[in-house]
């Protein structure tokens, strides 16, 4: 079961919630059901050269000279 991030527009609260089946979370601050699921940066594990495990997050940039979150935009 995945953990999702949510935002409550009523009280401006951001929170995480473990979703089980068709559960709909309510805001822990004001108990509103009008919460919106946020896009989260996903992390993944890949095998690098020689079988070494490399952990990478979608928000990490491959270049120190650019601020893009992906090297697809700058060609590196």
The pLDDT assigned to 30 comes to 97
| pLDDT profile of the chain (76 residues), mean per 10 | 90 93 92 92 67 54 51 50
Supply the pLDDT for residue 76: 46
Q: Give the whole-angstrom CA distance, residue 23 versus residue 65.
A: 43
According to the model, what pLDDT value does residue 64 have?
Answer: 53
Domain that includes residue 16, residue range: 1-40
pLDDT at 21: 87
- Tokens standing for 69? 């979150």
Interstrand relation of 3-8 and 13-18 (parallel, antiparallel or unpaired): antiparallel
Note the pLDDT of residue 60: 47
Domain count, the chain: 1
**Quick check: helix, strand or coil at residue 62?**
coil
Residue 15 lies in a domain: yes
Nearest to 19, CA basis, from 2, 40, 36: 2
Domain-embedded: residue 58 = no
């Amino acid at each position: 079961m995945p953990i999702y991030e949510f935002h409550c527009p009523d009280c401006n609260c951001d929170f995480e919630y473990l979703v089980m089946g068709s559960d709909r979370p309510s805001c822990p601050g004001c108990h509103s059901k009008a919460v919106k699921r946020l896009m989260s940066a996903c992390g993944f594990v890949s095998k690098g050269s020689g079988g070494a495990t490399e952990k990478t997050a979608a928000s990490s940039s491959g270049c120190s000279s650019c601020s893009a979150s992906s090297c697809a935009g700058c060609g590196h």
